[in-house]
Amino acid sequence: MTFENSIDFAKKLDAQDPLKEFRARFLLPQHNSEPIVYFTGNSLGLQPKTSQAAIQQELNDWATFGVEGHFLAKNPWMHYHEFLTEKMAKIVGAKNSEVVMMNQLTVNLHLLMVSFYRPTKQRYKILCESKAFPSDQYALQSQVKFHNFDPKNALIELAPREGEYNVRHEDILSAIEKNKDSLALIMIGGVNYFSGQVFDMKAITEAGHKVGAIVGFDLAHGAGNINLELHHWNVDFACWCSYKYLNSGPGSVAGAFVHEQHHKKTDMPMFAGWWGTKKETRFLMGNVFDPIETAERWQLSNAPIFAMAACKASLEIFDEAGMKNLIAKSKILTSYLEFIINDINKTKNNCLEIITPKELQGCQVSVVAHGYGKTLYNKLIESGVIPDWREPNVIRCAPVPLYNSFEDIYRFGNILKRLL
C-alpha cells in the first residue's frame, strides 16, 4: 500500500476499516472537546462502555442475594473465572484447561516459578533480558536468592549489542547453547516493553527444551497484541496482566498458562491454596491438598468478581472482533505510523529514530527523539496526545486496533511535526 500524509487519506483508510465500529465501544478521554490521541494502550487500555454495566450487575446481585450470589447471581460467582477461560484461551493460543485468570501478574510469575524453577547444584541459571520490566527482574533475582544462589552468577541477562536497541535472535540461541549444562529456566518477556521487540517464542522454546531447560514467558505486552500459540509452541508456562491491551481496568485480574503436559504431575512443587483443590471435594474441607488437574490448580483464592466482570466485558469485545482481524489491522496501523514518522524526518534532520524492529513488532512503535528528551513528551501531552515515556529517551506509541484510528495517527504526526 502506498501511504499519504494527509487527513483525506487517513479518513479514507478509516472508512475502509472493517473494524471501525469498535472504536465507538470505548470511552475516549477528551482534550479541548475532542478525543485525545491515545497511544498508551500498552500501559493502560481504554474503558469499554460495557464495563460499568458489567460491574454494576455484580453489585446489584451482591445487594440482592448477599452470599447466595455465589449460586444465584446472573453470573454465579462460584465459577466466575470460568466465564473468562474460553475467550482468553483463544487470545493466547491455548486449550481451555491450560488457562486460568487469577491474582496479579507478578504474583502469578512467582507462583509458577515455585513449580518451574527447580535449581540444582549443576543446573541453576536463568536466561532473561537485561532490559526486562523491573518487576520481572526483581522476581527473578528474589527467586534465585531464595534458592541460595547469587543473581550475579545465576542470571544470564541478554543485552543488545553495542549501539543497538534489540537483542539479536542468534545471540539468544548462542547463550542457550553456551549455558546448556547449567541452564534451568528461560524466562523472557514475549514483547520487550522498552523497544517493542517481539521475540521468536516458538524457536526459543524449542532451543530451551533441546538443552533440558524449562521455558516461560511474561506476556504483559503480548496478550491481546500479537499472535500467540502457546500450546502448539509447547511453552511450559506463561503469565500476563489484563489492564494493557486487554482493557480490563487498572490493576485488574491477571492470567496464567500452564501446558497440559504438566497438569497431572504428582511430584510438582507448588504453593497451594483452597481454590486449587478439586471442585468436587473442595467443600469437604479436607486437610490434604488435592489439586485440580488443569491450570486451575495454581489458584489460591476465590475470584475477584468486580475485576473479573470488567475483564469479561473486554474479552467479549475481543471475541467478536477476532484476534486475526485485530492483528491484520494492527500491522497497517503501525506501518502508517512509521510512514508518518519517516515523512516528518525528511524535514527535521532525521531526528526521530524508530527502534522497534519492523518485522518483529506488535502494536508498539518506540521512538528516540534525538536532542529533545522528555520536554517533547510533555508538550505532546499538553497538545492532546498521550504516548508513554521510558527513560532515558524513548517515547512509546501504541496504536491499538480496537479503538485507534488512522486519523489518530495523522493527527499525532501533525502535532509532533509542529512541536519539533
| Containing structural domain, residue 275 | 55-320
Same domain flag for 271 and 375: no
Which residues fall within 8 angstroms of residue 371, CB to CB, at 6 or more apart? Answer: 351
Of 363, 357, 416, the closest CA to residue 386 belongs to: 416
pLDDT greater than 90 at residue 393: no
Helix (H) or strand (E) holding 282: none
Same domain, 86 and 32: no
Q: SS3 of 204, please?
A: helix
Distance from C-alpha of 86 to C-alpha of 244, rounded to nearest angstrom? 19
Question: Does 131 or 306 have the greater pLDDT score?
Answer: 306
Q: Which of 295, 320, 345 finishes a domain? A: 320
Task: Identify the band that residue 133 occupies on the pLDDT scale cut at 50, 70 and 90.
Answer: confident
- For residue 307, is it left (φ>0), alpha (ψ between -120 and 50) or beta? alpha
Average pLDDT value over all residues in the chain: 96
In a domain, 96, yes or no: yes
The three grid cell numbers given for residue 19, joined into one nine-digit string: 473494524
Specify the pLDDT at position 391. Answer: 87
- Indicate whether 2 belongs to any domain: no
- How far apart CA 417 and CA 218 sit, in angstroms, is 35
| Stretch 34-50: mean pLDDT | 97
Which CATH number belongs to the domain containing residue 173 in this structure? 3.40.640.10
Same domain, 104 and 142: yes
Give the mean model confidence (pLDDT) for residues 140-147.
Answer: 97
- Let me know if residue 1 belongs to a domain: no
pLDDT at residue 42 tops 90: yes
3-class SS at 199?
coil
Euclidean distance between CA atoms 258 and 111, whole angstroms: 11
Name which of 389, 388, 385 is nearest 413 in CA terms: 385
- Weakest mean pLDDT among 142-156, 219-233, 264-278, 331-345: 264-278
Q: Which of 320, 344, 364 is the last residue of a domain?
A: 320
Span 61-71, average pLDDT:
97
What is the predicted pLDDT for the residue at 360? 84
pLDDT band at residue 371 using 50, 70 and 90 as cut-offs: confident
User: Does 391 reside within a domain?
Assistant: yes
Kindly state whether residues 176 and 273 are assigned to the same domain: yes
127 inside domain: yes
pTM of the model: 0.96
Q: Average pLDDT of 95-103?
A: 98
Residues 332 and 308 in one domain: no
Average pLDDT over residues 348-366: 91
Give, for 38, the enclosing helix (H) or strand (E). Answer: strand 37-38
- pLDDT of 115-126, one tens digit each? 999 999 999 999
Question: Above pLDDT 70, what percent of the chain?
Answer: 100
Q: Is there a single domain that holds both residue 89 and residue 36?
A: no
CA 416, CA 420: separation in Å to the nearest integer? 6
Mark whether 186 and 100 lie in a shared domain: yes
Closest to 246 measured CA to CA, from 326, 131, 300: 326
pLDDT tier at 392, thresholds 50, 70, 90:
confident
Q: For 211-322, where are the alpha helices, taking DSSP H only? A: 305-321
Render pLDDT for 260-274 as a digit per residue (tens, 0 to 9): 999 999 889 999 999
Q: What is the pLDDT of residue 10?
A: 98
The pLDDT score that the predictor gives to residue 303 is: 93
CATH code at position 19 = 3.90.1150.10
Task: Answer whether residue 88 is part of any domain.
Answer: yes
For 110, what's the count of Cα atoms within 13 Å in the CB-facing half-sphere?
16
Q: Write out pLDDT tens, residues 311-345.
A: 999 999 999 999 999 999 999 999 999 999 999 99
Cis peptide before 401 (omega within 30 of 0): no
Q: Is the pLDDT of residue 94 over 90?
A: yes
